[in-house]
Structure 1
Amino acid sequence: MSVTHHRTIWLSDIHLGNKDCKTDYLLDFLNKNKADTLILVGDIIDLWSLKNKHYWPESHNQIIKLLLEQASAGTRIIYIPGNHDSSVRKFVQYNFGHVELHDTYIHTTASGKRILAIHGDQFDSVVCHNRFHAMVGDVGYDFLLFINRWWHLFQKLRNKPYWSLATYLKSKVDKANQAIERFTHAAINHARQQDVDAIVCGHIHHPSIVQDKEILYLNDGDWIENCTCIAEAFDGGLSLISWTDRCQEIARNHSLKMVSDSVTASVSKDRVA
């Protein structure tokens, strides 16, 4: 099996314990991609879902096992809790051996640029007064995921590749687009205040790369709707990777060497077996 080695990978919003977690794509990604440093940017375990209803299939155990195996094999794993696993934040002062817990974390790329990783729920007060998923208005985020789940099954029956209906529907809701824009600006402003070159967030389930003057905003997306992550190559270049049976990288390479760096297409990945 061919394995791609990255300098750094940022993953977030896996939501283990939630029935909408796309563990098949994530397991395939983790088996075919390794990194010197793996930064988990929150909502890895969905304690909100588990509180309402216990759902923990064997595939979710396999994700945890695979992450711990990578840590034991030498991958540095940094875990930044999000709002769905916020109770983990109380343990950030403790040493868990192979897994480091941080509230936020600044990573230095191979090209010497500083990237702040923060889940992003800290910006909710800027985006809206309730939980962020209210951004989809009266439709309701949980209902969008319900539709997406059945659409995914329907696509499988038709032998069609994965396509996120939830993401498409959100893109048609003005409130959602406005909230995403406010979130992006809030993250960029926070990065300026922290005197870093870039910021990586999760939380809003909207993967993107945005250059705003001297600040690069990156959102690594999620494994509920989009199945995406951010990866750093050994030259410091950054890619936003999509890992479904469409087998495409959905965004651009960034080198972070200068503000005017061009955006280029990334190499497609192997198809999910």
Structure 2
Amino acid sequence: MTRLSYRSVFVSDVHLGYASCRADYLLDFLRSLRCERLYLVGDIVDLENMAKRPYWNARHGEVVAEILALAARGTRVTYIPGNHDAPLRCLAGQRIAGIEFALNAVHVGADGRRYRVSHGDEFDAHCATPRWLLRLGDSLQGFVCAVNRRCNALLRLLGWHYRPLSILLKTRVGAAFRFIREFEQRVADDARAGGFDGHICGHIHYARLHDHDGVVYLNDGDWVEHCTGLVEHHDGTFELLHWTEQRLTLARHEASAPVSMPLPVAA
């Protein structure tokens, strides 16, 4: 099988151990590529959900096996735990089965630009959000994921392509859209203050590339609702991919060029 060749690949918010995880699409994505660097940008294994509602199937195990196989073939794999796999943060600085664990990383692109890489949950601390509201948000997220899973099962029976229905809510509900934009601005401001050219993260399940006055915000999305990953080509160009039965380029950030704005995943 001919594999797609990239310099670096970034995936986050896989949530293995959660019923709505689209491990099938991620497995196809991982088996279709070769890369020098693979960054696992948090919430790869949903330890938080597994403590409440244990769930695992063969596809989830196959994703883990494929990641280990990539490391064995020479890909440098860095695992940056997020808030749902936070217990793994105690492994920072260690290397296990070819996988390096870190709290964050600095990625130097092929064009020399420097990007901070982190899960992104650290930027939640800037919001004085009541704990009850966070719990309500988690419950609503679970409900939306369950609806998305059932609707897409029906679409598949009808012979239609996968559609991330939750993106319609996130872009049309004012409070959700404001949260996304404010989160993005905080991340970009922090990157600028740290002297970075950009910041690569996940966490909010909303893939996006955007230039904030010279500082690039890159969110690789998730594999629960939207099935997106971020890849870096060998010339330093970044590309945001949607990967299901229908594979799309959502946005591109050309090396040393302005960022292309993303297209709606559901289009």
Amino acid at match of 1:39: Y
**Native 8 Å contact 1:135 1:179 kept in 2:** no
Distance in 1 (CA, whole Å) between partners of 2:162 and 2:126 is 33
| Residue 125 of structure 1: how far off its partner (Å) | 2.2
**Native 8 Å contact 1:133 1:140 kept in 2:** no
* SS of match in other structure, 2:188: helix
| Residue 200 of structure 1: how far off its partner (Å) | 0.5
Identity rate, percent: 34
Aligned to 1:115: 115
Distance in 1 (CA, whole Å) between partners of 2:133 and 2:44 is 17
| Residue 263 of structure 1: how far off its partner (Å) | 3.0
Alignment of 1:79-228 (within 5 A): 79-127=79-127, 129-130=129-130, 134=134, 140-228=140-228
Unaligned runs of 5+ in 1: 267-273
Q: 1:56 to 1:13 in 2, by over 3 A?
A: same
* SS of match in other structure, 1:74: coil
Q: 1:265 to 1:43 in 2, by over 3 A?
A: closer
Instruction: Describe the superposition over 1:59-81 as per-residue Cα deviations: whole angstroms up to 9, x where unpaired.
Output: 11100000001101100000100
Aligned to 2:260: 263
| Residue 96 of structure 1: how far off its partner (Å) | 2.1
Instruction: Describe the superposition over 1:91-132 as per-residue Cα deviations: whole angstroms up to 9, x where unpaired.
Output: 103232511111110011111010111101001122452579
Q: 1:161 to 1:106 in 2, by over 3 A?
A: same
Stretch of structure 1 that moved more, 242-251 or 201-210: 242-251
Q: 1:245 to 1:94 in 2, by over 3 A?
A: same
Distance in 1 (CA, whole Å) between partners of 2:57 and 2:262 is 36
**Native 8 Å contact 2:209 2:262 kept in 1:** no
Please, what is the CA RMSD of the aligned residues? 2.2
**Native 8 Å contact 1:124 1:130 kept in 2:** no
Distance in 2 (CA, whole Å) between partners of 1:99 and 1:131 is 34
Distance in 1 (CA, whole Å) between partners of 2:15 and 2:149 is 14
Alignment of 1:230-269 (within 5 A): 230-255=230-255, 257-258=256-257, 261=258, 263=260
Aligned to 1:270: none
Amino acid at match of 2:260: V
Distance in 2 (CA, whole Å) between partners of 1:133 and 1:41 is 25
Instruction: State how many pairs are aligned.
Output: 263
* SS of match in other structure, 1:70: helix
Alignment of 1:11-22 (within 5 A): 11-22=11-22
Aligned to 2:69: 69
Stretch of structure 1 that moved more, 188-197 or 138-147: 138-147
* SS of match in other structure, 2:247: coil
| Residue 139 of structure 1: how far off its partner (Å) | 8.0
Aligned to 2:6: 6
**Native 8 Å contact 2:121 2:203 kept in 1:** yes
| Residue 189 of structure 1: how far off its partner (Å) | 1.0
| Residue 160 of structure 1: how far off its partner (Å) | 0.5
Distance in 2 (CA, whole Å) between partners of 1:180 and 1:264 is 15
**Native 8 Å contact 2:7 2:37 kept in 1:** yes
Aligned to 2:48: 48
